[in-house]
Structure 1
Amino acid sequence: MNYIELQLHVTPDYTDILTAELAELGFESFVETDEGLNAYIIETDFDEKALEELVAKYTNQTAIAYEVNSLEKRNWNAEWEREYEPIEVADSVRVRASFHEPDARFRYDIVINPKMSFGTGHHETTAMMLEQQLDLDFAGKTVLDVGSGTGILAILAAKMGARSVQAFDIEEWAVENAVENAAINDCPQISVFQGTIDDIKDEQGRYDVILANINRNVLLAEIPLYTHLLNEGGYLLVSGFYEHDAPDIQQKAIDAGLWAEKTKSVREWTSIRFKK
């Protein structure tokens, strides 16, 4: 069968939501690019009018353009598997798909089979979050993963000894995928629900570590809530924003009662670890 390749030119803040929207239109595979996002769908399932309506829905929110190409017949799963490479973080974590063999050189082996091909550790923000986690002691700790996606951050926390990990995402497909990946990695201490931070019981000092790899606007709005939910001496790890946004994020955290312990930046993306 032939496939359609959709090349979306859009800012990184919108790749997640557009991936979810395109999945609803029947797109099967997704790859983040420097320009935005590539998405793939069986040619007979492609509805150009539905695509035009989707793009129009977001044109008032962000600059967005697209190109549509027809691809020759191919074994798409085999093609994707050839392109998908394991990710290695700080010589300690290896993130792979189930079709890759494990590598005993790495202390933490994480298997992620994404419904959509992001949240796999390939993006700089995810890799930085994983590296920041390696500096912490998760043994016996309670953890909250905000906007969990594939569940990759929650899984590392569990593998590092966390007693319980609560994860949530607004997207149903992400919740399903995180549950599947937690099971694949034998992490029964992870629980996942569909919702937002407002669905977390308002009980001060519930978590020892909070992980939030989302975007600037959400972080600025919710950092005070995260701080309220943190135990004294607890950690908040954040990413998903550009380096030039770091001062605003840091000031919001300081105003909420946190202090910045470690900052990392890669290709203009930034991650900060705060302590309460």
Structure 2
Amino acid sequence: MALIYIEYDFKVNPTQPATDILIAELGEVGFESFVENETGLLAYILKSEWKEGLLDDFFILQHPDFEISWTSTEIEQKNWNAEWEKNFHPIKVGERCMVRAPFHEPEAVEYDIVIEPKMSFGTGHHQTTYMMLQHILDADFEGKSVLDMGCGTGVLAILAKKRGAGPVDAIDIDEWCFLNSKENVERNDCADIAVFQGDSALLDGRKYDVILANINRNILLEDIPIYAQCLQKGGNLFLSGFYLEDLDAISSKCRAHGLEFEKKLEKDNWISAKYVN
């Protein structure tokens, strides 16, 4: 018997960053699949997991800067990969790097990365991932040991490896991301990237020339002291997953642990910053 889902069709204005915050809050209460579109978001929860008042305490739904409305309907289980394919388009970072799905035609670029994210984070479409890819393209990775913390699909680790890095570790606490990253590193002929499931507790005793961490403000603030301990002298720390208004707090935490701000990229109020040990 087919599973019954409830589909929520959220209309979001403006779409960002409200859609990202909405996805995070929906995930906390049991929604398991999401499809972003031009007007907002489709979100899916098993009917058996749904309960009255599920959305009552959502921060983003009460925020005065965003207009969010929604309708809901019962549906039978969908082919999530087919839904994703309809909404996933290849992206290019400058003229050097392309991030695409297996069903997209390749183009003549220096770095062609094939990602099948399924429901993992990190296709390059989100502003933070895009900026981290920009940082990797601009920096010297030849022969550098690299950590991709909160790796999602593994796309950052893959580009770092293609830029000459090694050894490269990729870590994510989420099992789906861990498995998806393992698939993607093999798909891109980067099977020597070591992928681990866990959090910053795995970093004890490890050292890296470069650390990439695209997570969120609170986890970054908690883990910056650990990143500082793991970073080689003269090493680079690239952070993203936070807004412009969070930059002072992030930079202050980094300074307290010997890491100096060097530069930042900004896209739609999202920030990606580089710090040097």
So what's the TM-score if we normalise by structure 1?
Answer: 0.83
Q: Partner residue of 1:22? A: 31
Deviations 1:65-113 (A, max 9, x none): 8642357999875554343110111221100000001101x11111110
Q: Distance in 2 between matches of 1:35 and 1:225?
A: 39
Q: How many residues align?
A: 261
Match of 1:253 in 2: 254
- Which consecutive unaligned segments of at least 5 residues does structure 1 have? none
What is aligned with 2:98? 94
**Deviates further, 116-125 or 10-19:** 10-19
Give how far 1:133 is off: 1.0
1:229 aligns with 2:230: yes
Is 1:148 the counterpart of 2:156? The answer is no
1:12 is the counterpart of 2:20: yes
Cα distance in 2, alignment partners of residues 73 and 15 from structure 1? 20
User: What is residue 265 of structure 1 aligned with on the other side?
Assistant: 266
Q: Would the alpha carbon gap of residues 155 and 232 (structure 1) be closer, same or farther in structure 2, given more than 3 Å must change?
A: same
Q: Normalising by structure 2, what TM-score?
A: 0.82
Counterpart contact for 2:7–2:44, Cα < 8 Å: yes
1:176 is matched with 179
Query: How far did residue 136 of structure 1 move?
Result: 1.3
1:273 CA drift (Å):
0.7
1:126 aligns with 2:118: no
2-structure distance, mates of 1:34, 1:12: 14
Aligned to 1:163: 166
| Alignment-derived partner of residue 52 in structure 1 | 51
SS of 1:6's equivalent in the other structure is: strand
Which amino acid in 1 is paired with 2:35? V
Q: Is the 8 A contact 1:145 1:167 kept in 2?
A: yes
Instruction: State the AA in 1 paired with 2:51.
Output: E
Shift of 1:141: 1.2
SS in 2 for 1:22: coil
Write out aligned runs for 1:194-233 (5 A).
194-203=197-206, 206-233=207-234
Contact 1:169 1:194 in 2 (8 A): yes
Q: Deviations over 1:228-262 (max 9, x none)?
A: 10001111000000111111111111111111111
8 Å Cα contact 2:120/2:152 also seen in 1: no
How far, CA to CA, are the matches of 1:171 and 1:103 in structure 2?
A: 32
Match of 1:239 in 2: 240
CA contact (8 A) 2:120 2:176 kept: no
Aligned residue identity for 2:210 = V
Correspondence list, 1:55-70, <5 A: 55=54, 59=57, 62-63=59-60, 67-69=71-73
- Are residues 102 and 16 of structure 1, via their aligned partners in 2, closer, same or farther at CA, if it must alter by over 3 Å? farther
Distance 1:231 1:117, change over 3 A: closer
One-letter identity of the residue aligned with 2:268: R
Report deviation, 1:14: 6.1
Residues in 2 aligned to 1:136 and 1:122: alpha-carbon distance in whole angstroms: 21
Aligned residues: CA RMSD: 3.0
- CA change 1:53–1:73 in 2 (3 A) is closer
1:122 aligned partner, one-letter code: H
